[in-house]
Structure 1
Amino acid sequence: MNSKIALLAIFLALLSVCFAQKKEDIFSRAVGPCIADKCQSKHTCYYGQCVPEGIAPAMPALDKNDAIGPCLNSMCPGNAFCHQGNCYNN
């Protein structure tokens, strides 16, 4: 039983590394920041960056209670991103 739990833990760790790498790959193809949650043609806004359509999963619903404040001129401080008028930590 313990070996099954250990194998499951290793599998989950590898899976999380793969997903982290995939998100990094998505951001490496970004063409610039989203402006007012909008991007140029054939691109979509993903965590504040415009990425080509079809390479990123759908943006998850963000809880407004997690916002660190409002966007100012569609911009946020530091590493935060603007989504629907609110800044969220990346």
Structure 2
Amino acid sequence: MLTTSTRLKLQLILRRMAEDSSVSLSDRVDLQRFDECDRTVSSWLSRARRRQLAGRRLEGLECFLEELDLRNSEPDQQYSPEADDLGDWFVGADPWLRRD
């Protein structure tokens, strides 16, 4: 559970990241620390990364998928259908998904 001040601080960092503004190393370390233990923060971070990579305002179906949090934040972490082993199938998944 995040305190209100922590949540607001993290959301400010994520907003700057999504807008492609500069984010200090200490802010990134704080964000990473909460990302590893809180799924909500992990979801916020994924959205911020996707918005940063898109570089533009999403509309229509893209906006809908973004709000549902169904898009991948990392372009290199895509599903690989040729993997035979179930563990290999999740090789590109987020750490929290592999852990669960």
- Would you say same fold, with TM above 0.5? no
Q: Which has the larger radius of gyration?
A: 1
Q: TM-score, normalised by structure 2?
A: 0.28
More strand by share: 1
TM-score when normalising by structure 1? 0.31
Structure (1 or 2) with the greater helix fraction: 2
